[in-house]
Structure 1
Amino acid sequence: MKKYIWEITPPSEEEIPGYSDHHAIIQTLFKLREIATPNEAEKFLYPTSDLLHDSSLLTGISETVTCLLSAIDAKKKICIHGDFDVDGIVSTSILWDYLYRKLGANVSPIIPSRFTEGYGLSEGSIQRMIDEGVDIVITVDCKKKNIDLISAHPEIDFIITDHHSYPIDDEGSLLTLEEPNIKGIIHPQHPDSTYPFDDIAGATVTWKFIDALQNVTSVENFSIDEYLPYVAMATITDIMPLKDENRYIVKTGLELANESMPRGFKHLLASAQKEDDQLQTYHFGYVLGPRLNAAGRLDDAIEGVRLLTTTSDSHAASYAQRLHDLNLERQKMTISLMNEAEDQLENQLTNKLFIVKGTDWPEGIIGLVAGKIQEKYNRPILVTTLTHDGNTIKGSARSPKVFHVTDALRKHDKLLLKYGGHAQAAGFSLSSKDFEEFSKRMVSYANTQLKDEDLLHILKISGELELKDLSFELLDTLELFSPFGNGNPRPLFLFKNLYVFDSKPIGQQKNHQKLLVGDEQNRFTVLGFGMAEKCTDITPGDTIDIAGIPKRNEWNGKVSIQLEMKDFRMSTNLR
């Protein structure tokens, strides 16, 4: 079980005017989010479209719009080349919908096969497009450099849209428009860009492209806000920070979805028996997202595009059930591979970076295994598999925030065939003959870059509350800080000296813990998900401190407040 070091935020000594009628903890929450003025507080709690940055600030977008509209007028065959994760599926879906249904373009989508073509543009995916007579390719959310491939196919024009680390050529230079068949690059990190915020999802870049197109075409009876629920989902599943315009995108996207649930969302929720739920970021990250991702992990991600773009309820129900079934299979495979991977860690526990290798492990699952190991051990992890040809190893990397894993791969790219990703997540491949040397260098690099304290599990606690503070009014105030996610975590609070009236394991596998705790005036139910093993020493009569999240609970028509426990310790300062 994880052992946490509690990092407790002291009460804020500063006070933002206008919020004195709220609980004092709100001032601490403002401070944690670097909110210092009433205006900043207002913008954060009640985000408006003023947070959105003008799409024209993306370098080259105007010229790219002109190029694409000319291609549409000329009836050229267009292909949208996406990626097989949620961000790529959403990007492909909304751009296809706009170009085909709103502009009448001759356009088709393609998502590469994870198993035969891999990430991004490949010789295989380009050949597919050549066979279909494609004239112009628009890439969305393709996460690796493809300069050689693009220059090798002058018969096709390319428009590149992306949000990953800005692409470089083989000499390490930034990608430019020097290739005559690159007709446009839309990227928030473009070296000439004046775009003020680059931590946006690929779907947001695509949405901005659609906005720029709409500003020229002025399609009637259409608003780009139609796509906000989808862009919001991509923002959450791609773990973009919920700051700046991302906050407006997610908050508004959720509101619009709950007002009129998109067909694909509705049927995915129904497949998970959550059709009556009010959509939250949780559903994006743990219900809708995993099911859409399952298509690309185990089958063909184009199924996700079909689900999000179909106008038929019967087709949507069929697609959603297929994705649900794939997700169940994915869950079973993840557990199995997780056990195999952990067996290899015994001799690596002194290293700052772990590497495990399997044979013919499903490429769509190794990233999930890497994520679970990284979360458990809080250190960089590379999960790799030897492909069936015996010559190539493919890998997925995950890392805590203190270690930029894509930069680490870049420093050893002479040993790699391909790589690409973000600071905390990446994919790569290499020749099997280079694996041992690559492993040694990566471990050595991490051991020199990371300190022991970098690997500690820190539980960040937003402040201390007492049970008497808990009220529905407080919960409503805390909810103003939503949506929660990367960069804006749900507040976690310390509750001290709680008397334990009852403690017992619950759930089908008895792996969760339910407690009844209280003080002189109050009693509350506490749930610790997956914490039964850790709670075996808690007995009635103990006094404990809890790090927990107060939540509204509805059951059998009754509404109450309960605590979701993240950790506990035996009390030492008894009042």
Structure 2
Amino acid sequence: MVSIKWTKRQSPTQDEISKFSSENNLSNTVSELLLERNFSDKEEITEFLNPNITGLQDPFALHDMDKALETLDEVIQSEGKIAIYGDYDADGVTSASIMRLTLKKMGVNPIVFIPNRFKDGYGPNLDEYKKLVEEKHINLLITVDNGVSGKEQVKYLKDNGVKVIITDHHDLPAELPEADAIVHPSIPGSEYFCPYLSGAGVAFKFADALLGDDALNFVDLAAIGTVADSVKLVGENRVIVTEGLKRMSKNQNVGLMALAKKTKLDLNKVNEEDIGFKIAPRLNAIGRLDDATSAMELLTTSDAGLAADIVDETEEINAKRQQLVADAFADSQEQIQQQSENGVLVLTSDTWHQGILGIVASRVVEQEHKPTLVLCYDKDSELYKGSGRSPEGFNLFDALNAHNELFAGFGGHAQACGFSLAEPQLNELIPLLQEEPAKQGFDPHSSVEKLFDLNFQISDFSTDLINEINQLAPFGMGNPKPVIKLSDVHLTNSTGVGKDKSHLKTTIADSQNQIPGIGFSLFSKSLEIKDNLCDVYGQLGVNEWAGRSILQMLINDIEFAPEAQEENKLESIYIDYRQKQLSKALMDRFDSIVCFNAGYYQMLQRHDLNAKVEMFDADFNHQNILIYDRPHDIKVFEQFLQSNKTAHTALYLHTSIKSGYLSPDMNKMKILLKYLYAHDNIKPDDMEVVAKFLNIDKNDADFYLKVFFELNFVKMVNGFVKKAEVSEQRELIESPTYLKRLQRNDVEKILIESNFDDLLNWISDYDCHN
């Protein structure tokens, strides 16, 4: 399991936050978040906090957009046949849907081809290109969300008189295809304002160039593709998602409305998380297990009945996908263990479903923080087909592209790739990949650094705080949802939930407040924390259930609080023997038996023990010891802890005193003293009767009398206790007996009466093991 190191994203001072807040008329919370994201320019801040359609850029600033429209217009004017070639993931089907709906607006009914993941593979497929040319007799092919890696395939089209417009956003190969137009945001020399556009984003800009404001009818689909493909939500992408969410209900896409109804989504309140967790996974599921053409049909149909039928099918496919992922992920664990020393994991099977390999790879990366390739052997093609994912800091595209000659098919970008290759080439690739992390300066065995944004207490939580944080929405890549740290809290009522009971349902509590929390795959980790103080990292949200809205925390991680970490370490050194029955066999397990009192030392010396019996001032470094009795002064024990770096220390802390602990009662002391002053015929032997009359414990009365003598409050005259002539004010602490009693009380309170967690907490202040 990956170890996580949490650090604050940045730490602006309170003065910096207050100044920023005042200058920009923003709350301290929003100001702190913006400062952490390095915002300073007023115009930039305003634009970021208020994304709207005025932030949409000129589509003709995209490379070859003018050539693309000229090419399209030429084919339309000649009444040529047009085909759209898409991709099978959510970005691909939304891209194809936008392009199809756009061309229909232009009066064109295009052929739409969505490749089958299992039959056609990722990206341009020459066989399918040939069918479009030879059987459909197309005159123009428009690619969406793919195409830049198809140099040979595009050459075939051009050799056969077919015009080609590529719209894509994936990483560029060394040589671009010789298409009529390549609309791409990252072409060297003509980089677009927003180089992070998704495939759907590029398709939307194509629609914008053709249709102007009418293209906004498709911005909801562009928002889905943008969120689904995990591109950076900055710049124009932020505008596309924000505007797409606003218009999701207004645009009345029949397929989206059917999908929302099935998943109980209110399109008037939909947010980017709803896209990421409800809409996109279902669109992806179709292409993972079946033909993604139906997903494109869902998003472009005007037939509500057809849409409902496709959505029903989608739900079944998505449930099947979830089970296949769970089974494959569980099956992969043995290989992961076997490759624990590898920097790049290569997991193979001949039974895993090809459609879920990317999801499994993502889960493994999350678990192991290592670049991961997950492959399944395809008997028909005699190739291993797979998907790869990698954590931030490692460019998987570059690592695989360095060995491009080994692949039968390959494409993707820095954090995700798809590929196919034969077994001999796979065997050759595996050792070569282990060299790639070092080349990129990536340490796959180091702890993962994660960032949190805000330090809060549970009492700070409110719906107003959620609204403040959401001013920075939509959240995603490049603008992560803020993580809040709760320090020194407890988890209570923790239970495992979910099908395999791996998820954590708990209550997060401090001394005065509490909030429900849910943490995915965190139940086992919560068992390690037990009742110890912990720090919790997560996001504040609202759980709506049965018409009620309840604040809750979505927990990302839990870890021992620094204080609890120390106690946890001390638990491995100190052992609680305070209630144990000692036997010779048990005592002989130790190197030394330690005594603080000479009487116990002499008594134990008379026993036939194999363990050494030593007084407390000996050297016990690196020994296994048993502390037999307790000191009379807690400071002596503090010095002992500071001086002895033991291997293990068992705390027996025996005493023969039955009621050693006494808390002096000032009121009863005054009552007894007043009584003695009023009666001059009291002898020390009479104290039992006096104590009974005054309702004071006999031991306490004897103790108080001894203190009175030491402070010269009373004196003995002819065998009677008499009032003394006190010439100066005396403090109780001046009585040696009183001081000794207080010292003994400290010993009793700290070493005997405390529970073991509190005792360890006290020991941590003096322990020398660090």
Q: TM-score, normalised on structure 2?
A: 0.69
- Which residue of structure 2 lines up, in the alignment, with residue 262 of structure 1? 253
Taking the aligned partners of 2:288 and 2:333, their CA distance within structure 1 comes to 21
Q: Which of residues 164, 180, 183 is equivalent to 2:180?
A: 183
Gaps of 5+ in 2: 565-760, 762-770
Q: Which of residues 70, 79, 83 is equivalent to 2:83?
A: 79
Q: Is the 8 A contact 2:497 2:505 kept in 1?
A: yes
> How do 1:389-400 residues align onto structure 2 when only pairs under 5 Å count?
389=380, 391-400=382-391
- Which residue of structure 1 lines up, in the alignment, with residue 123 of structure 2? 120
Indicate how the Cα distance of structure 1 residues 19 and 122 shifts in structure 2: closer, same or farther if over 3 A, else same: same
Q: Give the 3-state SS of the residue equivalent to 1:120 in structure 2.
A: coil
- Which residue of structure 2 lines up, in the alignment, with residue 374 of structure 1? 365
1:107 aligned partner, one-letter code: P
- Which residue of structure 2 lines up, in the alignment, with residue 91 of structure 1? 95
Q: Is the 8 A contact 2:94 2:225 kept in 1?
A: yes
Q: Give the 3-state SS of the residue equivalent to 1:459 in structure 2.
A: strand
2:171 aligned partner, one-letter code: S
- Which residue of structure 1 lines up, in the alignment, with residue 485 of structure 2? 494
Give the CA deviation at 1:518.
3.3
Matched-pair identity in % = 29
1:103 aligned partner, one-letter code: M
Taking the aligned partners of 1:93 and 1:499, their CA distance within structure 2 comes to 49
- Which residue of structure 1 lines up, in the alignment, with residue 603 of structure 2? none
Q: Which of residues 196, 199, 203 is equivalent to 1:202?
A: 199
Taking the aligned partners of 1:391 and 1:556, their CA distance within structure 2 comes to 53
Report the more deviating stretch, 544-553 or 515-524: 515-524
Taking the aligned partners of 2:10 and 2:71, their CA distance within structure 1 comes to 55
Q: Which of residues 111, 114, 137 is equivalent to 1:111?
A: 114
1:4 aligned partner, one-letter code: I
Give the CA deviation at 1:453.
6.7
1:5 aligned partner, one-letter code: K
Indicate how the Cα distance of structure 1 residues 529 and 150 shifts in structure 2: closer, same or farther if over 3 A, else same: closer
Give the CA deviation at 1:448.
4.5
1:206-232 CA-to-partner distances (Å, cap 9, x unmatched) read 1111111225xxxxxx62111111000
Indicate how the Cα distance of structure 1 residues 124 and 271 shifts in structure 2: closer, same or farther if over 3 A, else same: farther
Q: Is the 8 A contact 1:390 1:432 kept in 2?
A: no
Q: Give the 3-state SS of the residue equivalent to 1:341 in structure 2.
A: helix
- Which residue of structure 2 lines up, in the alignment, with residue 45 of structure 1? 49
1:247-305 CA-to-partner distances (Å, cap 9, x unmatched) read 11111111111445532222223333445883121221121111111221111111011
Does 2:355 correspond to 1:332? Answer: no
> How do 1:60-75 residues align onto structure 2 when only pairs under 5 Å count?
60-75=64-79
Q: Give the 3-state SS of the residue equivalent to 1:150 in structure 2.
A: helix
1:329-368 CA-to-partner distances (Å, cap 9, x unmatched) read 1111112222222221222111111111222533211111
Q: Give the 3-state SS of the residue equivalent to 2:355 in structure 1.
A: coil
- Which residue of structure 2 lines up, in the alignment, with residue 303 of structure 1? 294
- Which residue of structure 2 lines up, in the alignment, with residue 12 of structure 1? 12
Q: Is the 8 A contact 1:23 1:474 kept in 2?
A: no
Q: May I ask how many residue pairs the two structures share in their alignment?
A: 558
Taking the aligned partners of 1:342 and 1:482, their CA distance within structure 2 comes to 36
1:3 aligned partner, one-letter code: S
1:252 aligned partner, one-letter code: E
2:241 aligned partner, one-letter code: V
Give the CA deviation at 1:519.
3.6
Q: Is the 8 A contact 2:238 2:474 kept in 1?
A: yes
Taking the aligned partners of 2:251 and 2:358, their CA distance within structure 1 comes to 33
> How do 1:503-518 residues align onto structure 2 when only pairs under 5 Å count?
503-507=494-498, 509-518=500-509
Taking the aligned partners of 2:138 and 2:10, their CA distance within structure 1 comes to 60
Taking the aligned partners of 1:192 and 1:499, their CA distance within structure 2 comes to 55
1:366 aligned partner, one-letter code: L
More helix by share: 2
Taking the aligned partners of 1:470 and 1:21, their CA distance within structure 2 comes to 22
Q: Is the 8 A contact 1:163 1:202 kept in 2?
A: yes
1:200 aligned partner, one-letter code: L
Q: Is the 8 A contact 2:397 2:415 kept in 1?
A: yes
- Which residue of structure 1 lines up, in the alignment, with residue 168 of structure 2? 162
Taking the aligned partners of 1:209 and 1:276, their CA distance within structure 2 comes to 26
Q: Give the 3-state SS of the residue equivalent to 1:115 in structure 2.
A: coil
Q: Is the 8 A contact 1:548 1:563 kept in 2?
A: yes
Taking the aligned partners of 2:445 and 2:125, their CA distance within structure 1 comes to 37
Taking the aligned partners of 1:319 and 1:223, their CA distance within structure 2 comes to 27
1:11-39 CA-to-partner distances (Å, cap 9, x unmatched) read 41334244787553322211222211332
Taking the aligned partners of 1:469 and 1:358, their CA distance within structure 2 comes to 50
Does 2:440 correspond to 1:445? Answer: no
Q: Is the 8 A contact 1:360 1:388 kept in 2?
A: no
> How do 1:144-543 residues align onto structure 2 when only pairs under 5 Å count?
145-153=149-157, 154-155=159-160, 156-166=162-172, 168=173, 172-175=174-177, 177=178, 182-214=179-211, 223-274=214-265, 278-359=269-350, 361-389=352-380, 391-452=382-443, 455-500=446-491, 502-507=493-498, 509-539=500-530, 542-543=532-533
Indicate how the Cα distance of structure 1 residues 162 and 21 shifts in structure 2: closer, same or farther if over 3 A, else same: closer
- Which residue of structure 2 lines up, in the alignment, with residue 218 of structure 1? none
1:516-568 CA-to-partner distances (Å, cap 9, x unmatched) read 3434443322222332221124556x433211222123333333322222222
Q: Is the 8 A contact 2:24 2:42 kept in 1?
A: no
- Which residue of structure 1 lines up, in the alignment, with residue 694 of structure 2? none
Taking the aligned partners of 1:454 and 1:199, their CA distance within structure 2 comes to 30
Task: Let me know the Cα RMSD of the aligned residues.
Answer: 2.4
Give the CA deviation at 1:58.
1.4
Q: Give the 3-state SS of the residue equivalent to 2:523 in structure 1.
A: coil
Report the structure number with the largest CA radius of gyration. 2
Between the two structures, name the one with larger relative contact order (CA 8 Å, sep ≥ 6): 1
Q: Give the 3-state SS of the residue equivalent to 1:357 in structure 2.
A: strand
